[in-house]
């Protein structure tokens, strides 16, 4: 299928890479990554052009990688520098390389034209660099669904009351209208649920007893990074929308890596402004996120199963019906169409 190729995608947390080959698949491309002796991660196509063995089945030696079948050696620029048993190295015995950039303990890889790989475009958030906030890594959640389904779910506040009724949502938000702003580079959807009982997450981790004002802001960065700013504050404070800092505020980050047409990796983590030195709170938050994101996974995989089944069975295929509550997702799909080559 088509993808947005000129973009940075998450290859993994920084901790996943060392001096052993690591195989990943991004946009249906198989890559092998490893750290060179200078600590930098490099990425090559994971395929020896000789007999098509994945290089990740070979050995990293210093800055080079050696194929496990006939011992051919490639450097980090993808050039073959040795073919055991023959003197001449054919020009075609070389592999593609992919730009890599590491920031905030996350390793990103560029899947398009190397000339256009601008490291200043790699996702960042001021709170990563602010000592009053704490970043806490989560998991790599494998979802058997197209990344577009996963991404649009992350700019869709309307599902929260029904998919996460005991964790992130509750009945009070069912009919609260959603605001959507499509003016900027990110697509933003949000809603406030004022003066209502706290949801499970904040009851347990924020210590809220009485009514709270609760917000959900969804920022979707094209092609597939989502920031969800959500939190709660004592309803008695009647805080203004721009004063969310006064409550318990959490950024849930989702970095989606499209593996292929029906498989997405959702690497998620959070940054919080409370209990920043309390690891056990962070772990407990992640435990609740795991429950909530598994609720999404069940839905997103069921949808993919139907899409796959209908595409195979019918002509013309039944397409999802776009409703008014889908303003964010609809805008997202339109923009992706334009970015695909």
The residues that touch a second copy, with contacts defined as CB under 8 A, are: 28, 47, 49-54, 57, 66-71, 83-86, 88, 90, 92-93, 158-159, 161-163, 174-178, 298-299, 302-303, 306-307, 310, 313, 318, 320-321, 323-325
Question: At closest approach, how far in Å is the CB of 103 from a second copy?
Answer: 31
For tokens 């004002």, what's the residue? Answer: 213
Whose CA is closest to 2, among 156, 144, 112?
112
Q: What is d(CA 58, CA 21) in angstroms, rounded to the nearest whole number?
A: 8
Q: Which is nearer to a second copy, 62 or 162 (CB)?
A: 162
Question: At closest approach, how far in Å is the CB of 240 from a second copy?
Answer: 24
Question: At closest approach, how far in Å is the CB of 199 from a second copy?
Answer: 16
Question: At closest approach, how far in Å is the CB of 66 from a second copy?
Answer: 8
Q: Which is nearer to a second copy, 106 or 180 (CB)?
A: 180
Question: At closest approach, how far in Å is the CB of 24 from a second copy?
Answer: 15
* Cα-Cα end-to-end distance for the chain: 11
Structure tokens at 301: 């995989």
Name every residue whose Cβ is closer than 8 Å to that of residue 280 and which is 6 or more positions away in sequence: none
Residue 204: phi, psi to the nearest 5? -75, -45
Q: Which is nearer to a second copy, 69 or 128 (CB)?
A: 69
Q: Which is nearer to a second copy, 32 or 248 (CB)?
A: 32
Structure tokens at 2: 């088509």
Taking a C-beta distance cutoff of 8 angstroms, is the pair 238, 229 a contact? Answer: no
Whose CA is closest to 203, among 293, 290, 295, 288?
288
Q: Which is nearer to a second copy, 105 or 166 (CB)?
A: 166
Strands across the sheet containing 100-103: 8-13, 106-110, 100-103
Question: At closest approach, how far in Å is the CB of 326 from a second copy?
Answer: 8
């Amino acid at each position: 299928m088509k993808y947005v190729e000129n973009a940075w995608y998450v290859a993994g947390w920084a901790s996943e890479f060392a001096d052993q080959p690591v195989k990943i698949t991004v946009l249906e491309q198989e890559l092998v990554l490893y750290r060179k002796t200078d600590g930098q991660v490099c990425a090559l196509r994971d395929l020896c052009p000789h007999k098509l063995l994945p290089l990740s089945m070979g050995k990293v030696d210093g800055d080079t990688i050696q194929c496990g079948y006939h011992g051919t050696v490639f450097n980090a620029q993808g050039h073959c520098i040795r073919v055991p048993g023959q003197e001449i190295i054919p020009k075609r015995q070389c592999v593609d390389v992919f730009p890599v950039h590491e920031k905030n303990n996350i390793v990103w890889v560029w899947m398009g034209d190397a000339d256009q790989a601008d490291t200043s475009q790699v996702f960042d958030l001021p709170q990563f660099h602010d000592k009053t906030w704490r970043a806490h890594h989560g998991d790599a959640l494998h979802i058997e669904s197209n990344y577009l389904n996963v991404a649009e779910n992350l700019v869709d506040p309307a599902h929260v009351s029904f998919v996460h009724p005991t964790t992130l949502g509750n009945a009070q938000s069912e009919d609260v209208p959603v605001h959507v702003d499509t003016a900027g580079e990110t697509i933003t959807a949000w809603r406030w649920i004022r003066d209502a009982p706290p949801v499970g997450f904040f009851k347990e981790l924020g210590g809220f007893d009485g009514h709270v004002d609760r917000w959900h802001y969804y920022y979707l960065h094209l092609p597939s990074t989502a920031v969800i700013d959500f939190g709660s504050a004592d309803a008695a404070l009647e805080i203004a929308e721009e004063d969310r800092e006064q409550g318990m505020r959490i950024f849930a980050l989702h970095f989606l890596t499209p593996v292929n047409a029906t498989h997405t990796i959702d690497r998620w983590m959070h940054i919080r402004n409370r209990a920043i030195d309390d690891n056990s709170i962070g772990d407990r938050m992640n435990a609740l996120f795991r429950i909530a994101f598994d609720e999404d996974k069940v839905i997103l995989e069921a949808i993919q199963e139907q899409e796959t089944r209908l595409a195979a069975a019918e002509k013309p295929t039944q397409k999802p019906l776009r409703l008014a509550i889908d303003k964010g997702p609809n805008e997202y799909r339109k923009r992706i169409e334009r970015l695909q080559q």
